[in-house]
A and B are shown apart, each in its own frame.
Chain A
Amino acid sequence: EAQVTQNPRYLITVTGKKLTVTCSQNMNHEYMSWYRQDPGLGLRQIYYSMNVEVTDKGDVPEGYKVSRKEKRNFPLILESPSPNQTSLYFCASSLSPGQGQNEQFFGPGTRLTVL
C-alpha cells in the first residue's frame, strides 16, 4: 500500500530535550516536506527536500533541522524543543515539480506537546 508513515504519532516531552520525528514514504517520491498545523494559523511549511541531500527552508524553519540521506526518509529534528513548538506535524511527499501530476500525499500526523 502506497503511504507516508510518521513516528511517533503522539509525543509529550519537556523543553530542551532533543527529539526526532521520523517520516518515510514507499512511493519513490523525490519531493518530501514537513508542515505544522496550529489553530488560527493553518498549515505552514517548515522544510522541504527536492531530492537526496537537497533540503531548503520553508516558511517557518526556526528551531528545526532536517536531513535527507535516503530517498524514502525525511526526519524532522528538534534540537532543543520549546513550548511554542507544540503543534500537529505532517510529513508529505510527491513527485518532483515538472513530472506531471504532483499530487501530495500526507502522513497521519504527529501530535507534539512540549512542556
Chain B
Amino acid sequence: GIQVEQSPPDLILQEGANSTLRCNFSDSVNNLQWFHQNPWGQLINLFYIPSGTKQNGRLSATTVATERYSLLYISSSQTTDSGVYFCAAMIKAAGNKLTFGGGTRVLVKP
C-alpha cells in the first residue's frame, strides 16, 4: 500500500516564527489532506489539497503531485498552533481509505 512519511517528527517554535512541515507519499494520490489534532484529540480539517496551493489565514499548503510531496506552511505561529499535524493520502486503488503519516508534533512557546 501507499507509504506516507512526515518530517520533522517534532518541532519547537518560538511564538511568531514561521515553519514548514513536509509530507512525502509513495504513490499517485487522488486525495491529500492536512489535519491538526488539538490537545483534546479532535482532528481538525485544514486542507484538502491533492494538487496546487491553498491558503487559509496564517496557514497555507502546496502539493506537487508529480513529485509526490506536500508542504504545510505555518506563518507567525501562535501558541494555539501547538498540537500534532497529520497529512493523509488516498490512492484510487484503495477505495476511500486514507493512509496517515506519523505526524509532526509542534510546540509553540510564548
Contact = CB atoms under 8 A, between A and B. Distances in A.
Contact of A102 (B31, B43, B86): B31
B90 interface: yes
Contacts of A59: 97
B41 A109 contact: yes
A104 B100 CA distance: 12
B59 interface: no
Contacts of A96: 96
B62 to A, nearest CB: 17
B42 A108 contact: yes
A7 interface: no
B100 A103 contact: no
Most buried by A among B45, B97, B101: B97
How big is chain B's contact interface, by range? Answer: 20 to 34
A48 B95 contact: yes
A45 interface: yes
B48 interface: yes
A74 interface: no
B30 interface: yes
A42 B45 contact: no
A50 B96 CA distance: 9
A103 to B, nearest CB: 4
Among A50, A101, A102, residue most surrounded by chain B Cβ atoms (within 10 Å) = A102
A33 interface: yes
A42 B48 contact: no
B11 interface: no
B100 A50 contact: no
Interface of B: 30-31, 33, 35, 41-43, 45, 48, 86, 88, 90, 92, 95-98, 100-103
Interface of A: 31, 33, 35, 42-43, 45, 48, 50, 56, 58-59, 88, 90, 92, 94, 96-97, 101-106, 108-109, 111
Given A45-B98, A103-B45, A104-B88, 14 more contacts: A33-B96, A33-B97, A43-B86, A48-B96, A48-B97, A50-B95, A56-B95, A59-B97, A88-B41, A97-B96, A102-B30, A103-B31, A104-B98, A109-B43
